[in-house]
Every structure is written in structure tokens, then in C-alpha cells.
Copies of this chain bind each other. A is one copy, B any other.
Amino acid sequence: MTGAAMTGPATTGAAAQLRALWSARSVAVVGASARAGSMGRLPVEFLLRYGYPGRILPVNPGASAVLGLPCYPTVSAAPGPVDLALVLVGADRVPAAVDDCIAAGVQVAIIGASGFAETGPAGAARQAELVARARAGGLRLVGPNCIGAVGVGSGQVASFSPLFGAPTTELVPGSLGFVTQSGALGYGTVSLAFQRGLGLGWIVNTGNEADVDAIEAMTAVAAEPGCAGVLGYVETLADGPGLRRLAATGLPIGLLKAGSSAAGARAAASHTAALATEDRVVDDVLRQLGISRARDVEELLDLGDAFSQPRRPAGPKVVILTTSGGSGILAADALVAHGLELAELGPQTVAGLDQIVPAFGATANPVDVTATVMADPALFGRCLSLLAQDPGVDALLACFCVLTGDDVDMLVTALAAVADAVGKPVFAARTGADHLAPDAAASLRAAGIPTFPTPARTAAALAGLYRVSQRPAPAEAVQTTARSAQAEPAAAATEPELKQLLMQAGIAVPAGRLVGGPQDAVAAVAELGGTAVLKAVVPGLLHKTDIGGVIVGVTEVTATAAYQKLAALGGAVYAEQLIDGGAEVLVGIAPTSLGQVVTLASGGVLTELIDDAVHRLLPITRADAWSMMGQWRGAAVLAGHRGRPPLDAEALADLLVAISELTSGWPPGYELDLNPVAVLPAGVAVLDAAYVTPQDRARLPVEA
């Protein structure tokens, strides 16, 4: 690494301090040792081997030199400034080492030792104490229970991963960051990235994440000049605002979130909270923030290949170019499965292709140019150029099979030329053994053409690039309105109280009022048009339909009996206008590990039958609301169908945004169920509402 990169442009506070993880002027190795095979020897060996240009400072009171470098009894005794300390002493000696680092003015200490939160409550207490100590001293901690960080460009290998000890390992520097909660899996992944020639610039293993978590480390990496994108492997994801900050860096982000199968056992009183299961919420929030989720290590690295090239698709329309019908079909299948579209070629493009491609080829998308055209560089180049210049094409996906050495140069030259000329991404699938064209991988990579062994992986990577390219512009910020000043409901607020609050916020609810007795019930039904709904109002009763607490279609004739039945449930009775027609949806809010999340799902009885809930982290924009509705499988009910009128989707979007605004100041932890909400041909109406605070939840039966 050059001196310029080490001093780099100033970044703000925390991020600047974390730069020591890859751009330290000096690295202290606490617990350094010359003993062969000892953990304390490895980083010293690695820093020397990979040519780290900064000062390497072995620290060990029992040694005067390690591998020919002077060794110091403490970090404070080493010549300063010391930017990074890699602490490789046992858990019992870590607190003293941390104090030493603070005294020496170290920016970041990486704690390798295990024996903290991962071992149980006592270890967790030791870990909390350590963090408190570091924070008080202005020291940032990475780990404990981690195997270190690497600044690849400068050979700053502050890690003891066995990867760096293998005689065949070479660092492959590049423009991607990689942050991993898991050490062993993380450095295994690094080795696979290097193997495919995917260069990394910054690597951090966060381990127990006592202080710095993966999302903060990714955000710091994203602030580095020259960073083209950041990949992350995480097992816990618990900081919604942190994720928003990461997304706001504007860089392409790919995240492999493990643990989808772990049952997210969590107390849930409302339908909404039962629907907002961990893995679904993670999926939807990442979508909301324009972060691409990977489901496996290879898929994560495939995203890295996509992010490493400079071009971005302006839209989802892809043209497939192939010399094998089969590859084209597989690519088309995968594009559609990943939410991209097959571009419809313009008439000019098709006319142009018709003059080049033989009759046994195909000039519709997927375009089968045939081996004949492939054999003629001029014809092939003209095909490519026609496709790339079509305004209806956002990206090109080229499929090749048994590609032999001779074809490669022509191919790479033609693909690179067209990618440069039009600025649209060009991806390639090459389904054939490496030995058939051993230089192809490197040539294609050098030309900025991400290449994968199968059409499906190529399509998935392109879709991942599209997702991060569609991130909403910062302009489309969340609005704060008068609604946002509304305080939260009282604990154990009843349905009429909640509806009052909604109405004050400009959210439509049916007309209604409490009734004072059997006679008043008759009067109320008359006021409400002669047919009404009567409901029991029992504080703390969440699912009142289950116990007959709602009577629909009450007339003046039946009002007295209905009143008496409901009053017998032990609370007040509420009479409400009968709203008929439309479709029932659920709109709700529930607490999740990422924060308060708003949910849209099919409502009423369908909530339990149709598994179609869609989630977004609060607050949401109007674009978020439309995106929710676009993703929602139940949205079919909003369209006019079999003679029914179309329903008011605008009003549903309004409701979602209004709820987001309304609740923006409410203390977190609550569940809010608006279920059902009637979506009508004109407008919406909240037919039922329930609110549960964390305190209430402890007293309520648990859902699902």
C-alpha cells in the first residue's frame, strides 16, 4: 500500500478509527512469540511474508526479539503511534492488555481469545466489562473470539488464519471489502475468492462482535476510497438503523445471512407479530434497502464478481446471446426466476440481426447467433453491437459452452468493446472445463466481463447487481408530518380508543360509538343506518371474534339481544357502521430484531390461510409502500375481478405511509394490528385495531 492510501481522505469519527484495521502505520502483536506453530508467531510471520510496509511491534514481556524484530514488554513501551493491536493472549490476560492499549493510544484492538460471551453468562459478563473498559478509554474492539483483519493491498495480515500460512497462498488485492462474523468460514471464503481471481482490499472477522459488529465494519470499509462494494457474512443482524447507514453509503452490498432455519421463537400476541418471522423480515428489509442477499458462499462471491465491474443496469431488461439453444433457455429461466425480464428487441435490431444470423439461428431473445456467426469476428461484433445499442436492453448475458482457446481472444475483445461503448453490463456464462481455454477466465475478468460456469449463476449475479442498482435515491427521504407528533396509545387501549386516535390522524375508521345499555344499542343501530356491527370492548381481549365478541348485521330488532350477549363478556359494547364489500387486508406493526417493522398481508380469515405477509423497516416512504404492494402476492384482490370493481390501491398506500408517520415517535416494542382493514372501491377503513405493549404481552396468550 502506498503512503497516500494510508493517509487517505478524512472520514468521519468511528469509520476513521476503524481504518486501523487495514491502514495502520504500525501493528502491535500482543503475545508475539517465536515458537514454531504458536498462535503468537503467525501474524508476525505473515506481516513479514506479505510485505507489510508499516512498523511491526511484537509485544511480549518474556522476549527481547521475535523473528528478528525488537520485542517490547508492553504496547505502551513500544514506539508510538500504535494504530492497531492484535491481542493474542488468553482471556484472563485480555483486560490488562486492553488497558495497555488504551494507555498507548491504540485506535483498534483485535481480541483473538475465546472464553467470552460464546461460553455463557459468566463469559458474557467478562465481555461486557471489556467493552465498558475500552469505550471509556476511546479504544475500539474487534472480537473477541476472532481471527483478525487484513489490509490486502498493503500486506497488513493482522490474522492468524492458517490460510496465510499455506505455502501456495498469494494475496489477490482488489476493490471489494469482505467482513465476516465467522472466522473459519470467512477465511475459507477468502481463499475461494482469491482462487477465482476475485480481488479483495479489506477483510475483517468480527467474531463475538462485543463492540464493532459486521455492519459497522462494512460501513467503514465502504467509506474507503477505491472500494467498489462490500460483501458480508453475518449470523446475527440486529441493528436496523446501522443497516440503513450501510445502504446509505451508496455502494453495492451483498449479504449472506445465515440462520434462516433457526426457529425464531419470540413472544407474539398479535397476528402481525406472528407473521413477522425473522428470516422473512431480513429478506424484505434487505430488499427495501437495496442490499442483495446471498444464500450461499458461492452466490456471495458471484455478487462480488458482479460488483467489481463498473457498469450498472438501468433497468431489468436483459438480452441473452448464445450459440447454444440450451444455454439460452437456462439463462432465460433463471433471469425470470430472479425477477429480471427478457428484453423485447426493437424492430431495427431484429431487422439488423436478420441480415446476419442464419435461418437456423434465432433473432428473438434469447438470440441464437449460431456457431457460423461466432466464427466470424466482424459478424459477431455487429450482432453484439446491435443488441447493446437497442434502447430496450439494459444488460447483456452471453452464453458459451465448449469454448476452446482459439475463440477466446476474439470473444473477449468483442465483448469488452461493446461493454465499453454502451456502458451496459455484459455478463458471460461459460459452461465448459477450464483446461479447454485456460486463459479465458483471466482475460474476461480483466475486460470487466463477470463470467460464471453456468447460465443460472450468471443470471443470479446479474439480478443481484440489478437489486443494488435500484436503491432509492436519498432525495426520496422519509417525511416527518404533523401526524408524527401523535403520542402512542395508552397501555391496554381499547378498540374505540385506538380508532379515535387513528381518526385524529386522518385515518378512516367506520362511524361508531359506545352504547350505554340495551335501549341505547337500538338507538345506536338506528343512527348507524339500521344495520350495524356490535362489538365487545374488553381491555386485554385481543382476538374477540374467537369468543363471539363481534356480531355483524345487527338490526334494531336484534340489537337488544346482541347487546346483552356482548355485555355478558364483561366489558363495554361498541356499535359501528357496517362496511360491506371490498377486500380485507392486515396492516400491522411488530417489533423485530431489526426494529419496528410494518407488515401488509391478506386480512381477516385469509391471514392464517395465505402465507403472503410483506414487511418493511419503519419509517417507510411512499415508494416503500408501493414496493410492498408490488411484492405482496395477495395484491390480486385489489384488481377488478369477475365483475367486481377495482379497489383503491392509492388509499392503501396512503394508509401504510400514514401509519408509519403516526407511529414514528412511539416507544419501540409494541405490536399494532389493524386487521381487518377494508380496502374499498374508494378509500379504506380500519375495521378493527389492537395495540399491545411489551408489558401487555407478558399477560396475553401467545400466538402461533
Taking Cβ atoms with an 8 Å cutoff, the residues of A that contact B are 114-115, 118-119, 161-163, 165-166, 168-169, 180-189, 191-192, 194-195, 233, 235, 256, 258-262, 295-298, 323-327, 329-330, 332-337, 342, 359-360, 401-402, 404-405, 431-436, 453-457, 546, 602, 606, 608-611, 633-634, 636-637, 641-643
How far apart are A352's CB and chain B's nearest CB, in angstroms? 21
Q: A191-B436, A192-B432 are in contact. Are A296 and B330 (CB under 8 A)?
A: yes
From A434, which residue of chain B is reached at the shortest CB distance?
A: B195
> A401 vs B637: C-alpha distance in the bound complex, in angstroms?
48
* B433 close to A298 (CB less than 8 A): no
The 10 closest A-B pairs by CB, nearest first: A182-B326, A188-B401, A185-B326, A184-B324, A296-B456, A191-B433, A261-B336, A188-B431, A195-B433, A184-B401
* A297: chain B residues within 8 A (beta carbon): 330, 431, 453-456
* A404: chain B residues within 8 A (beta carbon): 162, 165-166
* B609 close to A454 (CB less than 8 A): no
* B260 close to A337 (CB less than 8 A): yes
* B636 close to A166 (CB less than 8 A): no
> A606 vs B342: C-alpha distance in the bound complex, in angstroms?
31
* A454: chain B residues within 8 A (beta carbon): 296-298
* A166 close to B435 (CB less than 8 A): yes
> A182 vs B191: C-alpha distance in the bound complex, in angstroms?
35
* A330 close to B185 (CB less than 8 A): yes
* A643: chain B residues within 8 A (beta carbon): 546
Q: A181-B326, A401-B188 are in contact. Are A334 and B431 (CB under 8 A)?
A: no
> A643 vs B324: C-alpha distance in the bound complex, in angstroms?
58
* B295 close to A184 (CB less than 8 A): no
From A166, A169, A184, A636, name the one whose CB has the most chain B CB atoms within 10 angstroms: A184
Instruction: Please name 6 pairs of A and B residues whose Cβ atoms are closer than 8 Å in the assembled complex, sorted by A.
Output: A162-B404, A166-B435, A182-B325, A184-B323, A192-B453, A606-B609
Which one of B184, B342, B608 lies within 8 Å of A326 (CB-CB)?
B184
* A434: chain B residues within 8 A (beta carbon): 195
* A329 close to B433 (CB less than 8 A): no
* A115: chain B residues within 8 A (beta carbon): 360
* B360 close to A435 (CB less than 8 A): no
* A192: chain B residues within 8 A (beta carbon): 431-433, 453
Q: A329-B235, A402-B187 are in contact. Are A168 and B436 (CB under 8 A)?
A: yes
Which one of B296, B333, B435, B609 lies within 8 Å of A260 (CB-CB)?
B333
From A196, which residue of chain B is reached at the shortest CB distance?
A: B433
* B455 close to A296 (CB less than 8 A): yes
> A261 vs B186: C-alpha distance in the bound complex, in angstroms?
35
From A405, which residue of chain B is reached at the shortest CB distance?
A: B166
From A188, A610, A637, name the one whose CB has the most chain B CB atoms within 10 angstroms: A188
* A332: chain B residues within 8 A (beta carbon): 261-262
* A609: chain B residues within 8 A (beta carbon): 602, 606, 610, 634, 636-637
Known interface pairs A188-B432, A261-B342, A609-B637; 12 further A-B residue pairs with C-beta atoms within 8 A, sorted by A's residue number: A118-B360, A166-B435, A169-B435, A186-B326, A187-B402, A194-B433, A258-B326, A259-B329, A259-B333, A260-B337, A297-B431, A297-B454
* A401 close to B337 (CB less than 8 A): no
How far apart are A562's CB and chain B's nearest CB, in angstroms? 21
> A608 vs B610: C-alpha distance in the bound complex, in angstroms?
11
* A360 close to B114 (CB less than 8 A): yes
How far apart are A212's CB and chain B's nearest CB, in angstroms? 18
* B261 close to A335 (CB less than 8 A): yes
* A610: chain B residues within 8 A (beta carbon): 609-610
Q: A169-B436, A260-B337 are in contact. Are A235 and B326 (CB under 8 A)?
A: yes
* A431: chain B residues within 8 A (beta carbon): 185, 188-189, 192, 297
* A260: chain B residues within 8 A (beta carbon): 333, 336-337
